[in-house]
Amino acid sequence: MRILADIATNQILQVEKTPPEGNPVAHNGRYSIPVPEGVSVKVAPDSVVLPSNDPNSVVQQSYAGLLSQIPLFDNILFNPLIEAADMDDLDPTGVLTVGSDTFVSRNQIGRGTMGPFPAGTTPNSVALLPQNDTVSPSRPGVLVTNTIDISTITGGAGASDFAVYWYFYDFDTTVDVRASVGSFAGQNTPAIRNIVEVDQEPLDLEVFISVNNGVSYFPVQRLVPISFCSNGTQIRIAFKNTNPGGRKYLAAYALLF
């Protein structure tokens, strides 16, 4: 299930069944809000998208439903990546360190609210860049979150059990053609931005969690619990794209603990 909203107004336009993977659907002027698998969200006349923490928000209901499915966890923090404030939770200078390897951020994000330039973003546009294989060593696409401080919500105790949720899309945009000469003479076709459902755990995507504010990272699987020997309060999540052929568009992510 996914919910479609208008880019200009954030008004809900429709609810639809999630199409099969690889099936392109025209998406101009709107964006998709993924609903986690198995979660049922009731969209009523008073349902809204923003603010995402509103009880009537389909975003809030989606992640409350996800949390209720996994009794191991009591809390969930989510980022729907819809508005400029959501960009504040991403670290444009973040570094992913795995063993002896260090990867700098290579991504596409909007501007957060911290300045100095005007804030703004477009939903469904946060992306991991393709891996750059023209340099040695290769440079993957990397996105690192800012520190997720769970000390307050856990009464200072932190947590040792976590799970990470994410949702990616692909996009394919056709060429805008208006020509009077040449092989395209007489054609006048708009550019169509197609959204495509994709495998959420492909071989060229790696996701990591850090419980010590980025000092060390450990690989995670989607919604598979991971446990640590000691509690952590300063959490970061990192995404790594090793596909040299294209971007990976991150629609949302969440931390359960």
Q: Report CA-CA distances (Å) from 53 to 4, 57, 62, 74, 105.
A: 18, 7, 11, 17, 28
Check residue 57 and give its pLDDT. 98
Give the pLDDT score at 82: 98
78 band by pLDDT with thresholds 50, 70 and 90? very high
- Give the per-residue pLDDT at 189: 77
Flag the least confident range among 28-37, 78-87, 114-123, 141-150: 114-123
> 187-243: per-residue pLDDT in tens?
777 899 999 999 999 999 999 999 999 999 999 999 999 999 999 999 999 999 999
| Mean per-residue pLDDT, 74-93 | 98
Render pLDDT for 3-54 as a digit per residue (tens, 0 to 9).
Answer: 999 999 999 999 999 999 999 999 999 999 999 999 999 999 999 999 999 9
Q: Where are the domains of the chain?
A: 2-256
As a whole number, mean pLDDT of residues 128-151 equals: 97
Per-residue pLDDT for 79 more than 90? Answer: yes
149-194 tens-digit pLDDT = 999 999 999 999 999 999 999 999 988 777 767 776 767 778 999 9
* Predicted local distance difference test score (pLDDT) of residue 190: 86
Tell me the mean pLDDT in the region 247-251: 98
pTM to 2 decimal places: 0.94
What is residue 176's predicted lDDT score, i.e. its pLDDT? 78
